[in-house]
Amino acid sequence: MNNIELIFPEIFISLSIMFLLILGVFKKNGSIIVHNISLLVLLITAVITFNETIGVGQRILFNESIVIDYLSSFMKIITLIAAFVVLLISSSYLKTFKIFKIEYPILILSSVLGMMVMISSNDLIVFYMGLELQSLALYVLATFNRDQLQSSEAGLKYFVLSALSSGLLLYGCSLIYGFTGSTNFNLIASQFNTNEYALTFGIVFILVGLAFKISAVPFHMWAPDVYEGSPTSVTLFFTMVPKIAALTVFIRFLYVPFLNLIDQWQMILVFLSIASMLFGAIAAIGQKNLKRLIAYSSISHIGYALAGLATGSNDGIQSSVIYITIYIVMNLGFFSCLLMMKRNNVYYEKIEDLSGLSKNHPLLSLSLLVILFSLAGIPPLAGFFAKFYIFKSVIEQSMYFLAIVGLLSTVVAAFYYLRIIKIMYFDEEKESYDKDHSLWLKFSLSVSTLIILIYFIFPSQLIDAVSKINII
Amino acid sequence: MNFPILSSLILLPFIGALFLFFTRSSNDNKITVKYVALFTSLVTFFLSLYLWILFDQTISEFQFVEDRVWIKDLINYKVGVDGISILFIILTTFITPLCIISVNNSIKSRLNEFLIAILIMETFMIGVFCSLDLVVFYLFFEAGLIPMFLIIGIWGGSRRVYSAFKFFLFTLLGSVLMLVAIISIYWITGTTDVTQLYDLGIDVKYQNLLWLAFFSSFAVKTPMWPVHTWLPDAHVEAPTAGSVLLAAILLKMAGYGFIRFSLGLFPSASEVFTPLIYTLSVIAIIFTSLIALMQEDMKKLIAYSSVAHMGFVTLGIFTIQQQGIEGSIIQMISHGLVSAALFLCVGVVYDRMHSRLITTYGGIVTIIPKYAVLFMLFTLAALGLPGTSGFVGEFLILMAAFKDNFLVAVLASLGVIIGAAYMLWLYKRVIFGKLINTELKKMIDLNRSEAFTLTCLAIPTLYFGFYPEPLINTIEVSINDLINKYNYNVASK
């Protein structure tokens, strides 16, 4: 077996999961140690991924079913870092709800493993395997706060709808297999006959399944309920990490085997993108719950990332990757704020709970202000650059309609972000929240805010990192 | 020139804001905080004066240019000034310290944050007038929304939320189309560097759409009729210092944008759309003057008069003649001084009586004579009395307009008359007449800082009214060059 070092990160993480399971079972009150080891595992995996796989060029392993290239390494590292931060800042939340258990970090590790498999997959079967592994872990995570009705409901809803979409996805896979005789991306590319309508159907079914996973309109219905019901730390995980993996599969699936069919799928992606941007922006206006609001906001942000993918160019892919990276930073900051809204062991998540926050918590509200303006895409914050790159690549392909609709929906979206700012800064103050947050929470908030603030000084670094992604 | 004077100008207020950010705000150090802000803005002002001294008036090229790679292969951080932009920079740095002096009584809470917002605003405004790259320009242009939104929203009046939202969303909506246009220009020509674009030119077939996209942004910001409705709201609700910044400088960004980008980059489209601008300008001048006539609220009246004055500015710019554009720039500078002063005047009486309604006042000439004199001066400057800076601008604009289009010029002149009517009527109702409201007797005349700020504004208003040469000398060569390029481009079409 050659090149085994290339999938060493996956091997390492799966061995660790098994080890942690055994450790958790045999050690009494082992949740803290399992938690800490998991953090370490994620960090080490990120380092291994960085060391072993960056710079090796494109390698295809195991009968061409796994691909290791710059895109996969980059996305894996983001996934790992995001999962690391989620785990880092969720402990105090979990402790408050008395659900600080060994299962939580292990489930996160398993879903991360699934995502890493998805990111590297070069074969429909491998991709499906990864997808199911991460989904199963996510179902359980959604219900993690078992005693709460909402959480169980969220998990069940997610499970039922996700199973449906997996079914559609499998059906699409089988159609593609039936008409090309292979499940391998490269083989499909060399064998399909563009005149087959059934193949297009297959693509559509798979796209539907994937769109469901990243909650693009019109397959977004589960997202607000699940995001609202799940424990906040899990919501944070949901809004970022699975989207990275699904987006990578989107890129690989569309651009490796089916680039020639771009006429067929470009329209679908443009539609998904426009619908998500507009719907996410408009539906968020009426929301009262911050988690629900961020669900719609994430729908709208995914719309922008899809706009980059719809271009059919390398620039577009790169801009999407930049977008999702910056989006993750903003989201981390936002949820760090959300996790700080705690008073006497109760977490507050209504928008009106932010009322007058700026008087009692000037720094917290300033950070949130920066994050929200960045989410709205106002320069000179990072969120503006994310959108700028997207629209740059969109306009390069002369897709003016998409660009103008996208930019107009930023104006609509600005409205609800401004509303939060208004409540924080213009309204009367309420009781102040606890101030003794964990160090890590403060750390993640300040780091993400700083990145957003000073991104404009060093914009080239991220572009350089992403510019090595070369799919076409 | 190795010292990056423009970047220092941009950064100085920001550094001051950082200082303030790290000072704990409390009631004891209010004065200190204010002095830090004042000191920063004064240093910026003197630096900008120094810039004016170093500035070579005889060449039309951009000076003090700094060009650094910012995003590799995409955007350069490029700043520079020419005769058109330098005056706006000085206006900005001149108005900001006066704003800071004027925040004495009106800002009760969070003084520290307020000053930070003002200083950051100054950074962005200087950036707008310096930037020689479209993306950098857009960045500064849009970034200014954040501090202004907060200034209106946190420290504003009773309907501040509505006004702040309206201001933000109107301006943002106008600007996003400009972003599309900027990116399109990048793909059409391969650069967003303004000086390169001047040389390259943009293909005529794209110009009209691009012009419209830029227009949508500038028209909202100017503001032109019919998208001016955010301005009265924003002005009325903003605190005095916010109104001053808004009227004196923010509105000028659009006028500057028209000259620099609409005329400079899209000459043939500018020619096509001149009738549109004429029509909108004339409507703005007459219509909003009439509206101003009927206002009960002093701030609102001045806000509408701003729209009318900006109507003259757009009219003058699109006459595309030396006198017209010179007149527009002088009109903008003058309006910057005069409207700032008028808002400060309203702020003075508002601080004492807490009312902006005209009917509250009347017959206060004997009670606060110093105020009455200065208010008179600025009223006359606003209506364009010869000997004040307002006259020079309006006169040059109308002269150019008469050469180009007789009807438009006549209608615009009509606007001047209505302008005189509402300003004088305002003055009469507030200052003269019978003293009915006995509360007014308790009013105190201008205190030292108020007298100082108003005098500071009065001196240049009068000086440039009698002797506009320094202004004209500064802008002349650059405008001449702009018009030559314009004529060349239109002729070669």
Domain boundaries, given as residue ranges, for chain A: 258-472
State how far the Cα of A288 lies from the Cα of A291, in Å rounded to an integer: 9
Average pLDDT over residues B374-388: 88
Instruction: Give how far A28 is from chain B: nearest CA, Å.
Output: 47
pLDDT of B1 > 60? The answer is no
Helix/strand/coil (H/E/C) assignment for every residue in A127-165: HHHHHHHHHHHHHHHHCCCCCCHHHHHHHHHHHHHHHHH
> Which secondary-structure segment (H or E) carries A346?
strand A346-347
| 3-class DSSP assignment, residue A342 | strand
Asked if B135's CB is within 8 angstroms of A418's CB, the reply is no
Q: How many CA atoms lie within 13 A of B165 on its CB side?
A: 16
pLDDT at A195: 67
Chain A contact set for B177 (CB, 8 A): 404, 407
Q: How does pLDDT run across B56-83, given as a tens digit for each residue? A: 888 888 888 888 888 877 888 888 888 8
- Please name the member of A378, A392, A463 whose beta carbon is closest to the beta carbon of B142: A378
Chain B contact set for A426 (CB, 8 A): 153-154, 160-161, 164
DSSP B61-125: S-EEEEEEEEETTTEEEEEEE-HHHHHHHHHHHHHHHHHHHHTTTT--S-HHHHHHHHHHHHHHH
Instruction: Write b or e for each residue in B80-110: b if 16 or more Cβ atoms lie within 10 A of its Cβ, otherwise e.
Output: bbbbbbbbbbbbbbbbbbbbbbbbbebbeeb
For chain B, how far is it from start to end, CA to CA, in angstroms?
38
Q: How does pLDDT run across B452-469, given as a tens digit for each residue? A: 888 988 999 889 888 888
Instruction: Give how far A415 is from chain B: nearest CA, Å.
Output: 7
State how far the Cα of A368 lies from the Cα of A422, in Å rounded to an integer: 12
Instruction: Give how far B142 is from chain A: nearest CA, Å.
Output: 6
Question: Which burial class, exposed, middle or buried, applies to B469 when counting CB atoms under 10 A from its CB (0-12, 13-18, 19+)?
Answer: exposed
A460, A462, A467, A468: which to substitute to probe chain B, counting the most B Cβ within 10 Å?
A460
Q: How does pLDDT run across A349-368, given as a tens digit for each residue? A: 888 888 888 888 888 888 99
φ/ψ (deg, to 5) at B70: -115, -60
* Cα nearest neighbour of A407 on chain B: B176
Question: In the structure, what pLDDT confidence band is assigned to residue B192 with cuts at 50, 70 and 90?
Answer: confident
Which pair of tokens denotes residue B437?
């409201």
The pLDDT profile of chain A, 472 residues, written as one tens digit per residue, is 567 778 888 999 999 999 999 998 888 888 888 889 999 999 998 988 888 777 777 788 888 888 888 888 899 999 999 999 999 888 888 888 888 888 889 999 999 999 999 999 988 999 999 999 999 999 999 888 888 888 888 889 999 999 999 999 999 999 888 888 888 888 888 877 666 777 888 889 999 999 988 888 888 888 898 998 888 889 999 998 999 999 999 898 888 888 888 888 889 999 999 999 999 999 988 888 888 999 999 999 999 999 999 998 888 999 999 999 999 999 999 999 888 888 888 888 888 888 888 888 888 888 999 999 999 988 889 999 999 999 999 998 888 899 989 988 999 999 989 988 888 888 888 888 888 788 888 899 999 999 999 998 888 888 888 888 887 7
Residue A6: alpha-carbon gap to chain centroid: 24
Q: How does pLDDT run across B405-448, given as a tens digit for each residue? A: 888 889 888 888 898 898 898 888 888 878 777 777 777 888 88
pLDDT of B492 > 80? The answer is no
- Please name the member of B145, B160, B165 whose beta carbon is closest to the beta carbon of A378: B145
Average pLDDT over residues B126-142: 90
pLDDT at A112: 94
Asked if B172's CB is within 8 angstroms of A414's CB, the reply is yes
State how far the Cα of B350 lies from the Cα of B302, in Å rounded to an integer: 14
Chain A contact set for B160 (CB, 8 A): 426
Single-letter residue type at B175: S
Mean pLDDT across chain B, nearest whole number? 86
pLDDT of B2 > 70? The answer is no
Average pLDDT over residues B235-252: 87
Asked if B153's CB is within 8 angstroms of A407's CB, the reply is no
DSSP B186-201: HHHHS--BHHHHHHH-
What lies within 8 Å, CB to CB, of B282 at 6+ separation is: B311, B315, B408, B411, B412, B415
Closest by Cα among A86, A417, A440 to A231: A86
A414 and A378 in contact (C-beta within 8 Å)? yes
- Please name the member of A378, A379, A426 whose beta carbon is closest to the beta carbon of B161: A426
Q: Please state the pTM of the whole predicted model.
A: 0.92
* Cα nearest neighbour of B189 on chain A: A396
Average pLDDT over residues B301-326: 89
Chain A contact set for B69 (CB, 8 A): 460
Q: In this predicted complex, what is the ipTM?
A: 0.90
| 3-class DSSP assignment, residue B432 | coil
pLDDT of B144 > 60? The answer is yes
State how far the Cα of A51 lies from the Cα of A178, in Å rounded to an integer: 39
Instruction: Give how far A142 is from chain B: nearest CA, Å.
Output: 37
**DSSP type of residue B250:** I
A141 and A108 in contact (C-beta within 8 Å)? yes
For chain A, how far is it from start to end, CA to CA, in angstroms?
29
pLDDT of B382 > 60? The answer is yes
Of the listed ranges A120-134, A143-157, B103-117, B247-261, the one predicted with least confidence: B103-117
Closest by Cα among A186, A277, A295 to A239: A295
B66 and B80 in contact (C-beta within 8 Å)? yes
Chain A contact set for B146 (CB, 8 A): 373, 378
Which pair of tokens denotes residue A94?
């979990």
State how far the Cα of A203 lies from the Cα of A201, in Å rounded to an integer: 5
Which pair of tokens denotes residue A194?
């563009």
Asked if B160's CB is within 8 angstroms of A426's CB, the reply is yes
| 3-class DSSP assignment, residue B445 | coil
> Positive or negative CA dihedral for B219, B222, B228, B234?
positive
- Please name the member of B168, B179, B186 whose beta carbon is closest to the beta carbon of A418: B168
Chain B contact set for A461 (CB, 8 A): none
Instruction: Give how far A153 is from chain B: nearest CA, Å.
Output: 37
pLDDT at B26: 64
Which pair of tokens denotes residue A172?
């699409």
